[in-house]
């Protein structure tokens, strides 16, 4: 696992605004001894991708209420939410429903 | 080494699945992809999409309001929700003959970039994206600008296609910006914007000869609206703001065909159909969650969704059941509706009503301990018995002689039709809109048509007052 874990992160519904207005990020997660879960992915996103206002994306250890998370087009609530273990080539989509209009 | 994933690919099955079954609870065949909160069911993709489509059609069907001759204007902002609305409508038009929608549809985009301070290049780019999106469905599309409310005459809507260019009337835009800048709190700004948008929609619908407007509010939005409306003192009109049909306007009804769907369902629908959206920031984008009442209620509802999912639908259902008795009664003339939101005004307040108490405490607070005397009380809006004798055109002045003298000279009441003050406008507003007007600094910033209506109504009122004594 020298190359780390390659995954695609996508942001939509306004969440992309906090990530330099870019909707799609191909990232490689560094190798570590624990398996990558969404729980430890979120702080990584905060440190590496998030451009501004972390309080608008994260709340406590999870995402802010109103932001939906889809792993490979499936609801993360069916996959164990924060405890879902990320696999290579996963696509994780964060879509905000907080914006009216 | 985190090679655990590599070693056992089949680990997924062994994982404890929290509450949900392995298969879709509808077709029991495919793997579920979405958990729908209200039903507490896990659906697979196909069943979910069928479910959304069914809910949309049944909402329209149950209402028994759609006629084949109807012309519908779909309000399209480019957001996820409104794109889903277009997609669902399009799906309805492509159904097999017996299920196909028979009404006609047009699409309207309102450019609000001026209020948000977006550069013109961004606004034109947004317009082009919106044009592309609406074009793929083959609906005839139009666009207009929020600032058109400052223009009393002329056409509002411009056909929208790939090549249409955004033309900006600098004068009106400046007026609009002036109006928004004149409002101090974000809450009032948002509320004003909402009312303006509603008026533009209605006006455009009349121009395009549409008798119904579709807007894309989800049940989550409406739950937020309910709480906001109550906090803003719009409890009386909440019924119009959150039910399926808003029939405040006599000619054009505003319908909300997505109101049975939650924002989650809408978001998933758009993901599965890969519906693109234009993200146009709004006034409250990136704002602190406590910056306005609307943002606060949004935060509250979102947190409810997270922790107590079924409560949101309770809020929404409760709002749906509330109706006001006046809404069903026969329409009177256009005189007794609020000039901003067209809600029916509750004529004179009953003695000791809460709105009167609010007025009273505002008056006392603004006058201070020394400024209060017997005369001050007459500034309060008249109730049935106590203040009936006061002529409203002369304000608090006890001396109605002066008014009538002036009236003799000029032929009309001296307090003037051209001298429109904020308090005059306020009198023609409902309680909720009064709060907006309170926040406005000068009357001149208000849209032309509002000022015009206020003037006409004030003129009529003063005329009525001046002949009152001669009537038997």
**Residues of chain B contacting A14 with CB distance shorter than 8 Å:** 279, 281, 285
Contact B207, B155 (CB under 8 A): yes
Residues of A in contact with B299 (CB under 8 A): 65
Task: Tell me the C-alpha distance between B9 and A46, whole Å.
Answer: 29
Contact A97 B34 (CB under 8 A): no
pLDDT digits (tens, 9 = 90+) for B4-15: 444 444 444 433
A/B interface, count of CB pairs below 8 Å: 102
How far apart are the CA of A30 and the nearest CA of chain B, in angstroms?
10
Instruction: Note the pLDDT of residue B335.
Output: 64
What number is the average pLDDT over the span B289-301?
A: 83
Query: Which 281-340 residues of chain B touch chain A by CB within 8 A?
Result: 281-282, 284-286, 298-299, 302-303, 305-306
CA B195 to chain centre: 6
Q: HEC profile for B190-258? A: HHHHHHHHHHHHHHHHHHCCCCEEECCCCHHHHHHHHHHHHHCCCHHHHHHHHCCEECCCCCCEEECCC
Question: How many other CB atoms sit within 10 Å of the CB of residue B233?
Answer: 17
Query: B30 at the A interface (CB within 8 A)?
Result: no
pLDDT digits (tens, 9 = 90+) for B83-122: 899 888 888 888 776 778 888 888 888 888 778 777 888 8
Distance between CA atoms of B256 and B245, rounded to whole angstroms?
A: 7
- The answer to whether B263 contacts chain A (CB < 8 Å) is yes
Give residue for tokens 């001894």. Answer: A33
How large is the C-alpha radius of gyration of chain A? Answer: 13
Could you give the CA distance from residue B209 to residue B252 in angstroms, rounded to a whole number? Answer: 9
Q: Are residues B10 and A41 in contact, defined by beta-carbon separation less than 8 angstroms? A: no
Q: How many residues does chain A have?
A: 101
How high is the ipTM of this complex? 0.88
Residue B448: closest CA among B166, B109, B112, B156 = B156
Establish how many alpha carbons lie within 13 A of residue B76's alpha carbon, considering only the half-sphere containing its beta carbon: 34
* Cross-chain Cβ contact B303/A32 below 8 Å: no
Contact call for B33 and A73, based on CB within 8 A = yes
Identify the three-state secondary structure at position B75: strand
Q: Is A70 on the interface with B (CB under 8 A)?
A: yes
Q: How close does chain A come to B174, measured CA to CA in Å?
A: 23
pLDDT at B390 over 60: no
Measure the CA–CA gap between B310 and B37, rounded to whole angstroms.
7
Q: Do A78 and B285 touch (CB under 8 A)?
A: no
Percent of chain B with pLDDT over 90: 0
Residue of B379, B390, B386 lying closest to B461 (CA atoms): B390
Round to whole Å and give the CA distance between B195 and B237: 13
Question: Whole-prediction pTM value?
Answer: 0.78
């Amino acid at each position: 696992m020298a190359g780390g874990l390659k995954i695609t992160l996508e942001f939509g519904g306004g969440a992309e605004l906090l990530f330099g207005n870019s909707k799609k990020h191909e990232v490689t997660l560094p190798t570590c001894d624990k398996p990558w879960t969404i729980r430890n992915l979120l702080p990584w996103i905060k440190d590496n991708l998030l451009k501004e206002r972390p309080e608008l994306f994260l709340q406590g250890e999870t995402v802010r209420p109103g932001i939906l998370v889809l792993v490979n087009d499936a609801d993360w609530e069916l996959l164990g939410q924060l405890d879902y273990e990320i696999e290579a080539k996963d696509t994780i989509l964060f879509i905000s429903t907080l914006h009216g209009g | 080494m985190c090679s655990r994933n590599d070693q056992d690919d089949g680990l997924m099955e062994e994982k404890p699945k929290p509450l949900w079954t392995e298969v879709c609870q509808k077709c029991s065949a495919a793997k579920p992809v979405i958990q729908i909160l209200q039903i507490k069911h896990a659906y697979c993709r196909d069943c979910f999409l069928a479910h959304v489509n069914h809910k949309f059609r049944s909402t329209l069907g149950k209402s028994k309001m759609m006629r084949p001759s109807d012309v519908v204007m779909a309000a399209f902002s480019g957001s996820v929700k409104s794109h889903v609305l277009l997609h669902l409508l399009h799906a309805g038009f492509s159904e097999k003959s017996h299920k196909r929608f028979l009404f006609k549809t047009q699409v309207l985009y309102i450019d609000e970039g001026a209020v948000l301070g977006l550069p013109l290049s961004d606004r034109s780019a947004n317009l082009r994206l919106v044009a592309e999106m609406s074009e793929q469905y083959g609906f005839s599309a139009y666009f207009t600008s929020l600032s058109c409310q400052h223009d009393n005459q002329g056409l509002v809507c411009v056909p929208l296609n790939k090549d249409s260019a955004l033309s900006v009337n600098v004068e009106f835009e400046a007026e609009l910006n002036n109006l928004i800048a004149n409002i101090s709190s974000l809450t009032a700004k948002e509320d004003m914007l909402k009312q303006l948008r509603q008026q533009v929609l209605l006006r455009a619908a009349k121009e395009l000869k549409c008798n119904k407007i579709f807007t894309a509010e989800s049940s989550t939005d409406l739950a937020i609206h309910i709480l906001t409306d109550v906090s803003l003192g719009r409890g009386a009109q909440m019924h119009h703001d959150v039910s399926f049909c808003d029939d405040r306007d006599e000619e054009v009804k505003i319908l909300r065909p997505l109101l049975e769907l939650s924002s989650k369902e809408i978001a998933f629908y758009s993901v599965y159909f890969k519906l693109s959206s234009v993200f146009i920031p709004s006034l409250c984008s990136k704002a602190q969650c406590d910056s306005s009442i609307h943002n606060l209620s949004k935060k509250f509802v979102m947190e409810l969704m997270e922790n107590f999912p079924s409560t949101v639908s309770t809020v929404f259902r409760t709002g749906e059941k509330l109706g006001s008795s006046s809404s069903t009664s026969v329409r009177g003339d256009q005189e007794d509706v609020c000039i901003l939101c067209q809600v029916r005004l509750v004529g004179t307040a009953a003695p000791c009503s809460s709105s009167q108490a609010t007025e009273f405490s505002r008056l006392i607070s603004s006058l201070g301990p020394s400024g209060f005397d017997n005369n001050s009380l007459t500034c309060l809006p008249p109730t049935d018995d106590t203040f009936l004798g006061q002529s409203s055109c002369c304000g608090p002045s006890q001396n109605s002689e002066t008014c009538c003298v002036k009236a003799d000279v000029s032929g009309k009441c001296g307090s003037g039709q051209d001298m429109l003050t904020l308090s005059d406008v306020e009198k023609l507003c409902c309680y909720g809109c009064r709060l907006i007007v309170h926040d406005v600094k000068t009357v001149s910033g208000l849209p032309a048509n509002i000022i015009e209506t206020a003037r006409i109504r004030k003129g009529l009122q003063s005329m009525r007052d001046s002949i009152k004594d001669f009537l038997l």
